[in-house]
Structure formats: structure tokens, C-alpha cells
């Protein structure tokens, strides 16, 4: 198994892509630390344990730096180390530039950008001490092509790509790889809430002619978290059916 006995922290692990990633990692032998603001994470961890996997859940808000630091310490105390960090938690608060409120801006920046910074900064010293680590964060293909009505979201996802490159430079000497994934349209509860007409209009712009599924992104996370990607660092892997374009 590709993640045998690896300790993996997954943010936003209670649903959607995070849930698919937890299930995929568990099948590959990982021991899981699931973080989410939703109590559904408890059900996920319990189900995984019933299936014979090692998984724990903690309800935390990644925008709270103190909560993150505490959760990282508890995860290390429980498992003894942290090998993989999947910065997957994310939200949208879509609005055009002229209508976007300060709260809509701050909320998205807090979860999608500051949360990634807090989690990575808290986990990196443990990985440095181990001289081993895999950090993978969620960007988006809109970071590459832009998207109407998503000033806040695109700002965070573009920043993720930049931070990934910086951290790959800073942490590589400690045996830590840092990468990100840029999903396109993926079937999740968040995207299913989009108007049907908007979803239909997206299809002609996807060369493969369809949306992806959470498992497609989970497979990308798995590769970058595995030792198969031991010489891969500082990249953004686009998984969007060919839709991304500069």
C-alpha cells in the first residue's frame, strides 16, 4: 500500500473531496487525522474505524491559529508523528467586485488562505524534525484562468500556488515536498448548489466534455503524498479535464 502507516492530516475531511481523500488514503494504509468545522467528521472517523482503519476526528476552525496549534499537538501526541498534510478545506462567497462585502472577502481569505498558512506553519516543524513530510494544498484552475464573480476565491487560490513554490524552496532541505492541486469543475455539494444553467454552460469549455468527481482529486492528492512523488516539489497539478488555460 502506498501510504502504509503514514500519518495524514486532512482538513475539510468530513465531506466532498476531503471525504473522498480520507477514504482513498485509508485504503492505502494511512492513519488519518480528520479536521472539519462540521460534526459529520465524527461519523466519518467512526465508520472508517469500523472498516478497520485508524482514524480520529477533531472539530476545528482552520482560521483560528490557536485551535490549529492545539490540534497539531494532539495529533502528534496521538500518533507520534505527522507525515502528510492535505490543506483541503475551502469555502466560496461569490460576488462581483462592485458588490462584494468586506465579510465575504474576509471569510474566504480566512479559510482558503490564512487557514492553509496556519496549518502548514504548525505542521512544518514536526516534519522538519522528522526530515520527512508531504504538504499538498488545494488551489483551483480559476487561479490560472480567472472566473467571473470570484475575486476573493481566485485571490486565495492564486496565492496558494505562490506559497507552494516558496515553501518548496524553504522546506526542501528538510526532506519535505510541497505541492498543490488545481481542480476544475468537480461534483460536490458546493458545486451542485450552482444554477443548472451555469453548470451546463461549463461543459463546452472542458475538452473531456464532463465534470470530475471527488475521487479524481483524491487520486492526485494520493500521488503527491506518496513516495512515488519523492522528487516532485513546487508544482501545481491541474486536474480539470483540460479546461485550464492562461
Distance of CA 158 to the CA centre of its chain: 14
Tens digit of pLDDT for each residue in 7-33? Answer: 999 999 999 999 999 999 999 999 999
Question: What is the CATH number for 177?
Answer: 3.40.50.720
Nine cell digits for residue 227 = 513516495
Q: Is residue 121 part of a domain?
A: yes
* pTM score above 0.85: yes
Q: Is residue 28 part of a domain?
A: yes
Q: Is residue 31 part of a domain?
A: yes
Tens digit of pLDDT for each residue in 100-143? Answer: 999 999 999 999 999 999 999 999 999 999 999 999 999 999 99
Is 153 designated active site?
Answer: yes
3-state secondary structure string across 53-120? CCEEEEECCCCCHHHHHHHHHHHHHHHCCCCEEEECCCCCCCECCCCCCHHHHHHHHHHHHHHHHHHH
For residues 192 and 227, the model is more confident at: 227
Residue from 105, 97, 188 nearest 140 by CA: 188
Q: Is residue 223 part of a domain?
A: yes
Q: Is residue 1 part of a domain?
A: no
Overall number of domains in the chain: 1
Whether residue 181 contacts residue 219, with contact meaning beta carbons closer than 8 Å, is answered with: no
Q: Is 201 exposed, middle or buried (0-12, 13-18, 19+ CB in 10 A)?
A: exposed
Q: Is residue 2 part of a domain?
A: no
Whether residue 135 contacts residue 72, with contact meaning beta carbons closer than 8 Å, is answered with: no
Q: Is residue 143 part of a domain?
A: yes
Catalytic residue chosen out of the listed positions 118, 153, 213, 221: 153
Enclosing domain of residue 97: 7-239
Amino acid at each position: 500500500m502506498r501510504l502504509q502507516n503514514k500519518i495524514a492530516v486532512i482538513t475539510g475531511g468530513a465531506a466532498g473531496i476531503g471525504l473522498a481523500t480520507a477514504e482513498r488514503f485509508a485504503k492505502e494504509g494511512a492513519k488519518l487525522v480528520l479536521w472539519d468545522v462540521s460534526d459529520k467528521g465524527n461519523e466519518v472517523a467512526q465508520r472508517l474505524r469500523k472498516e478497520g482503519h485508524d482514524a480520529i476526528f477533531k472539530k476545528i476552525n482552520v482560521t483560528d491559529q490557536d485551535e490549529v496549534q492545539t490540534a497539531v499537538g494532539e495529533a502528534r501526541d496521538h500518533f507520534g508523528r505527522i507525515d502528510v498534510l492535505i490543506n483541503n478545506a475551502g469555502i466560496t462567497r461569490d460576488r462581483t467586485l462592485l458588490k462584494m462585502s468586506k465579510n465575504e472577502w474576509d471569510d474566504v481569505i480566512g479559510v482558503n488562505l490564512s487557514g492553509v498558512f496556519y496549518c502548514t506553519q504548525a505542521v512544518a516543524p514536526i516534519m522538519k524534525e522528522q526530515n520527512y513530510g508531504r504538504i499538498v494544498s488545494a488551489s483551483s484552475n480559476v487561479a490560472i484562468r480567472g472566473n467571473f464573480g470570484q475575486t476573493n476565491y481566485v485571490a486565495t487560490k492564486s496565492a496558494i500556488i505562490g506559497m507552494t513554490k516558496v515553501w518548496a524552496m524553504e522546506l526542501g532541505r528538510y526532506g519535505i515536498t510541497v505541492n498543490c492541486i488545481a481542480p476544475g469543475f468537480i461534483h460536490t455539494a458546493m458545486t451542485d448548489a450552482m444554477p443548472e444553467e451555469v453548470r451546463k454552460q461549463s461543459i463546452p469549455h472542458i475538452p473531456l466534455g464532463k465534470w470530475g468527481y471527488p475521487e479524481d482529486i483524491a487520486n492526485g492528492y494520493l500521488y503527491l503524498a506518496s513516495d512515488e512523488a519523492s522528487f516532485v516539489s513546487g508544482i501545481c497539478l491541474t486536474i480539470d479535464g483540460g479546461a485550464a488555460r492562461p
